[in-house]
Amino acid sequence: MKNIITTSIFFLLVTFAMHAQVDRSSFKVGLNAGIPVGDAADVSSFSIGLDVNYHWGVSELFDVGLATGFINAFGDTDTSSVGPVTVQTEFEDFQFLPVAASVRIYPTYHFKFGVDAGYAVGISDGMEGGLYYRPIVGYNITGNTELNVSYMVVEDNISFSVATVGILFLF
């Protein structure tokens, strides 16, 4: 099922790209940092990640593309007391490799809204991965630098969510 979803997204993007009136395309690479929220906050304290995406211009206001990267959420330590006994639990780091379709809408030159959706492959032991989606709001600082905020979610049996701030550089 995972392979079918990933393959379908890939072919959908290729179809869009082939039919688009391509007058611009962009390759961006950047970093993000975030705070786990919800269930993820119980087992993780902080996350860092790498963002890589390629977009094709469909119109002046609309881009489609591919997004990938790397997400590492650092495991947290939980200390609990049961009577006179103190128990300390250390959670391992969680790592994901997202593979997603990407859409961006440009209402103005500086602002953009979008979403990445696909599958996040679990890299760390015991993590299979799951449905990946990431709504994003970006701001062009300069012609080749973007600052963005996003809410990254990987859903399998639980929902692993991270609120992030990132910076992307156009190449």
Instruction: For residue 147, give its domain range.
Output: 2-170
Task: Residue 102: name the closest of 87, 78, 118, 120 by CA.
Answer: 118
Beta bridge partner(s), residue 105: 62, 113
- Judged against a pLDDT cut of 80, whether residue 7 lies above it is answered with no
CATH number of domain containing 58: 2.40.160.20
Using one digit for the tens of pLDDT, what is the confidence trace for 8-33?
555 555 555 444 444 578 999 999 99
Q: Report pLDDT for 19.
A: 47
3-class secondary structure, 2:
helix
Q: Which residue has the higher pLDDT, 126 or 138?
A: 138
> How much is the pTM?
0.81
Split at pLDDT 50, 70, 90, the class of 156 is confident
Beta bridge partner(s), residue 71: 49, 96
Q: Report pLDDT for 150.
A: 98
Query: Is 122:128 a contact under the CB 8 Å cutoff?
Result: yes
Split at pLDDT 50, 70, 90, the class of 81 is confident
**CB atoms < 10 A from the CB of 62, how many?**
16
Task: Write out the DSSP string of 9-41.
Answer: HHHHHHHHHHHS--S-EEEEEEEEEEEEEGGGG
Q: Report pLDDT for 5.
A: 58
Split at pLDDT 50, 70, 90, the class of 89 is confident
The domain tally of the chain equals: 1
